Amino acid sequence: MKFSWGTRIAAVVCIAGLAAPAGPAEGSVNRGRVDDRYLPSSTFKIPNTLVALAEGVADGPDHVFPGPRDPFLVRGKEVLPEECNGDITLRDAFRLSCVNVYQEIAGQVGGKTYRRSLRRMDYGNERHSGAPGDSFWLEGDLAISAREQTAFLRRLHRHRLGFSHQTMREVADMMVTEDREGYVIRSKTGWVFSTEPQVGWWVGWVETPDDVVYFALNLDVLQPDHLAARTRIGRAILADLGVLPA
């Protein structure tokens, strides 16, 4: 693979051939970083949505959370689309990465339920601590590695997280970011803005007629255009492996 970010990037790709019962084949970029844990930031919207649906905070992807709500600020600046501040469905809040909506969800779920759910999902270090209950995935002690992200995604895809099959199917459907002839990408980006250096994530899986390919990439964000590099580099890695077209 033709990438030279040194220690500032890590990627794990697990290819689970549909006819390969022995288990997935794993490749990586910068093996020394793939087990380092970082805050999940908005990639936590995947498990957060599972919990919201399972606990009845939302009755489905089209559940409407009424506005208005205060905009979410990072260093005093609004960083979310205006749609996040008004009436919005769970599906659109996930798609637009509406932190302020998910903070409302967190307030209804509560810490006890999150701690139980983190253990049930075997999610990262499973810690619900170090920050207010509505931002523990943004600036608290919760952390997960690229390798752990792919393991979690594999369990989600294979309906092995302990939630109802309907709940896991609904979340997987909400994750679709690209649906083309020959492949479907289900994914979520994340931006850890509370650490130095900041960290960018892209996690998900690709479905092809022959394989399911789980992936997780994280990289240090040292300048603004590095956020766009999350998906650009991730797609290049997947294309290099023949998973996506070049």
- The answer to whether 150 touches 124, Cβ cutoff 8 Å, is no
Angle, CA 93 vertex, CA 144 and CA 140 arms, to 5°: 30
* Catalytic (active site) residue 4: no
Question: Omega of the bond prior to 68 within 30 degrees of 0, cis?
Answer: yes
The torsion angles phi and psi of 43, rounded to 5 degrees, stand at -65, -20
**Residue entry with tokens 């910068």:** 30
**Separation in Å, CA 168 to CA 12, 81, 242:** 23, 27, 28
Q: Catalytic residue, from 41, 42, 97, 187: name it.
A: 42
What per-residue string of b and e applies to 171-200 under the rule 16 or more CB within 10 Å gives b? bbebbeeeeeeebbbbbbbbbbbeeeebbb
Residues 149 and 100: their CA atoms lie apart, in Å, by 23
- Token readout for 107 is 């307030």
Residues labelled as active-site residues: 42
